[in-house]
Structure 1
Amino acid sequence: MSLDTVVEDIRDEARARAEEIRSEGEARAEEIIADAEADAERIVEEREAAVEKQIAQEREQTLSSAKLEAKQQRLEARRDVLQQVRDQVEAELAALGGQKREALTRSLLDAASEEFDEGATVQVYGRAADEALLTKILADYDGYSFAGEYDCLGGVVVESTSSRVRVNNTFDSVLADVWEENLKELSTRLFDQ
């Protein structure tokens, strides 16, 4: 064998080995690219899923927030309506006159009188505008006298210095009790459909 032949065999062998290495390199590169593309696709899908989840959460939070705000506005509107109703009732009680006012005042004074011993000295307070009415009514009660003004819609505040008992039978206190006892029913009648 000649030296040329040996050189040529080595070159062929080197070319074959180089081709084999290049083929392996290309195969490995394709494998790496395929893995990278698969990873990229998986990452894109994960990110898209994360974004969709975040959008869904933000949508749910926005919806919940809007529902809560609407509920608060409804409750506030209901409170406003209930306050308007109460204001109207108070205005009507304050404007009440004549025999009806006298009958209610007498009834409240009679109920308060049950708390005091017979013959006790009793002081009665009432609305400034009701002084004449109270003085007229108190003429029928022994030991009772008009003692002065009390800031209220009407009715009486009755007290005795001897027993240190004070009874608040004003229209305001009766309205507060009735309002508290019937608020749920009133709300149901006004707002339930």
Structure 2
Amino acid sequence: MSLDTVVEDIRDEARARAEEIRSQGEARAEEIIADAEADAERIVEEREQSVEKQIAQEREQTLSSAKLEAKQQRLEARRDVLQRVHEQVEEELVDLSGTKRENLTRTLLDDASEEFDSTATVQVYGRPSDEALLTKILTDYDGYSFAGEYDCLGGVVVESTSSRVRVNNTFDSVLEDVWEDNLKELSTRLFDQ
């Protein structure tokens, strides 16, 4: 064999080996690229899921906040309506006049009188503008006298000079008792459909 043939064989062998290394390198590069693309797809998918989850959470939080705010506004509106109704009732009680006011005042005085002995000296307090009405009514009660003003919508505050008993039978106290006892029913009537 000649030297040229040996050189050519070595070259062929080197070329074949280079081609094999190049093929292996390309195959490895394709494998690395495929792995990188798969990793990239997985990362993109994970990020998309994470973003979608975050969006869903933020949407739910926003919806919950909006529902809570709406509920608070409804409750506040209900409180305002109930307050206006209460104020309107107070105004109507203040505006009561004539026989209706006299009959209610007598009824409240009669109820308060049950707490005192028939021989007791009793002092009656009332709304400043009701003094004439109370003085007139008290002429029908022995031992009872108008003792002064009491800041109220009407009715009476009655106390005995001989005992520590004091009975508050004002329109205000009756209204508050009735209001508390019937608030749920009133709210249901006004707001439930």
TM-score bracket for the superposition, by shorter chain length: over 0.9
TM-superposed CA distance for 1:174, in Å, is 0.2
- Determine if the alignment matches structure 1 residue 175 to structure 2 residue 191: no
One-letter identity of the residue aligned with 1:35: D
- Where does residue 82 of structure 1 map in the other structure? 82
1:53-97 per-position Cα deviation (integer Å, ceiling 9, x unaligned): 111121121112111111111111111111111111110000001
Q: Counterparts of 1:24-173 in structure 2 under 5 Å?
A: 24-173=24-173
Distance 2:116 2:100 in 1: 25
Q: Match of 2:151, SS?
A: coil
Distance 1:188 1:54 in 2: 40
- Where does residue 16 of structure 1 map in the other structure? 16
- Identity among equivalent positions (%) equals 89
Distance 2:26 2:78 in 1: 76
One-letter identity of the residue aligned with 1:73: Q
Distance 1:20 1:116 in 2: 121
RMSD value, Cα: 1.2
Q: Match of 2:17, SS?
A: helix
Q: Give the length in aligned residue pairs.
A: 193
Q: Match of 2:142, SS?
A: coil
TM-superposed CA distance for 1:47, in Å, is 1.0
- Where does residue 5 of structure 2 map in the other structure? 5
Q: Match of 1:125, SS?
A: strand
Structure 2 stretches lacking a partner, 5+ long: none
Q: Which runs of 4+ in 1 moved over 4 A?
A: none
Distance 1:124 1:4 in 2: 142
TM-superposed CA distance for 1:184, in Å, is 0.9
Distance 1:162 1:31 in 2: 108
TM-superposed CA distance for 1:139, in Å, is 1.5
Structure 1 stretches lacking a partner, 5+ long: none
Distance 2:103 2:134 in 1: 11
Q: Match of 1:119, SS?
A: coil
- TM-score by length of structure 1 reads 0.95
Task: Select between 12-21 and 168-177 the one with higher mean Cα deviation.
Answer: 12-21
- TM-score by length of structure 2 reads 0.95
1:97-121 per-position Cα deviation (integer Å, ceiling 9, x unaligned): 1111111101101111111122112
TM-superposed CA distance for 1:29, in Å, is 0.5
